[in-house]
Amino acid sequence: MATLRDIKRRIKAVQSTSKITKAMKMVAASKFRKAQQRMFELRPYAERMNVILSGLAGSVEGDMHPLLAVRPRKNVEVFVVTSDRGLCGAFNTNILKAASKHIADLRTEGFNVTVSAVGRKAKDYFKRRNVVLRNSWTGISGKISYSNAQEIAVDVIESYTNETVDEVIIVYNEFKSVVAQKVVIARLLPLAPIASAEADLPVFNFIYEPSIEEIFGKLVPKNVEIQIYRALLESQASEEAARMSAMENATKSANEMISRLSLQYNKARQASITKELMDIVGGVEALKG
C-alpha cells in the first residue's frame, strides 16, 4: 500500500504535468489563431484558382503545357504532409494510416509507388517500415512560408516533367473545426479538367491575352505552388487545433487524477490519524489498568 509520502509525491508530479499541458494548450491556441487566419485567407483563392485552371484545361490540348499532359499511369508519387512534433492526438496517426492504405492499394493495382514527405513524423514512420523516401522536408512545421511551397513545387514539377512519375497524389489534413480534421487524398498532377455537372454546359471559345501558351506557362506552375502552400497551411492549422484539444484533454485527465489522489491521500491520512488515536487510547487504558 502506498504511503502518505508516496501519494503526496505523486500528486506533485501530476500537478507539474497539469501545469505543462495547460501552458502547451495556451501556446497551441496562440499559434492556432495565426495559422487559422492564414489558412482562411488563402483557401478561397486556392480553390478558385484550381477550379478556373481545371476548367480552362478542358478547352486546350494536353500538350499545351507539360503539367497538363495526361500519361498512362505507371509510376505514382504519393506526397504525405505531417508534422515535425507529436503531442497532437491522432493528427499524425490518421494521416499516416490513410497514406499507407492508399500506397498499398496502388501497389496492389500494379503501380510503382514512390513516396515524398513533409514532416519528421512521416519521415520516421516510413523509415521504420523500410520505405525509401524519394525526398523529404523537415523543420518547417510551425514556421511555414511560401518559399517552402515553392521549393517543394520545384521538386514535384521536375519529377513530373522529366517523366520520373506519371501522377502525383497529395495526402494531408484539411481543417474543418477545432475538434475535427479531414484527411484529403487529392491528385496534384497532372492538372486535368473537372469532371462535374459543369461538363454539360456549352463550351466557349475564350480569347487569351497575351497568349494561351504564356498564360498556362505562368499559371499552371503557380497553381502547383498554391495548392502545396494551401496543404501546408491546412495541415498547420489542423496540427495546432489537434494539439490544443489534446492538451486540454490531458489537463482534464491530470486534474481528475489529482482529485482521485487527493481523496486517496485524505483517506489514508484519516486512517493514520485514527490509528494513532486508537494507540493513544489503548495506552491510556493500559495505564489505568
Q: How far apart are CA 35 and CA 28, in angstroms?
A: 10
**DSSP of 72-129:** PP-EEEEEEE--S---STTHHHHHHHHHHHHHHHHHHTT-EEEEEEESHHHHHHHHHT
Would you say the pTM of this structure is higher than 0.85?
no
Q: Return the active site residues.
A: 88
Q: Long-range pairs for 183-190 at CB < 8 Å and ≥24 separation?
A: 183/94, 183/95, 183/98, 184/231, 184/234, 185/98, 185/99, 185/102, 188/79, 188/156, 188/224, 188/227, 188/228, 189/67, 189/156, 189/157, 189/160, 189/224, 190/67, 190/68, 190/69, 190/70, 190/71, 190/160
CA dist 97 → 9, 171, 211, 231, 242 (Å): 39, 11, 44, 18, 17
- For the chain, the structural domain boundaries read 4-9+247-288, 29-193+205-246
Q: How confident is the model at residue 95 (pLDDT cuts 50, 70, 90)?
A: very high
Percent of the chain beyond pLDDT 70? 90
Predicted confidence band of residue 130 (pLDDT cuts 50, 70, 90): confident
Q: Which CATH number describes the domain made up of 29-193+205-246?
A: 3.40.1380.10
Over the stretch 175-204, which tens digit does the pLDDT of each residue have? Answer: 988 888 899 999 998 886 654 434 444 455
Percent of the chain with pLDDT over 90: 45
Is the pLDDT at 6 greater than 90? The verdict is no
* Torsion 89-94-97-100 (CA) sign: negative
- Cell numbers that stand for 184 in this block: 484529403
> Each residue of 211-235: pLDDT tens digit?
777 777 888 889 999 999 999 999 9
Give kind and range of the element (H or E) at residue 137: strand 133-137
pLDDT tens-digit profile of 65-81?
788 878 888 999 999 99
**Cell numbers linked to 209:** 491575352
Instruction: Give the number of residues written for the chain.
Output: 289
The pLDDT of residue 96 is: 94
pLDDT at residue 169, as a whole number: 94
Burial class (CB in 10 A: 0-12, 13-18, 19+), 152: buried
Q: What is the pLDDT of residue 204?
A: 54
The pLDDT value given to residue 215: 78
pLDDT digits (tens, 9 = 90+) for 142-177: 889 999 999 999 999 999 989 899 999 999 999 988
For 82-101, what is the mean pLDDT? 91
- Strand 133-137 relative to strand 167-177, pairing: unpaired
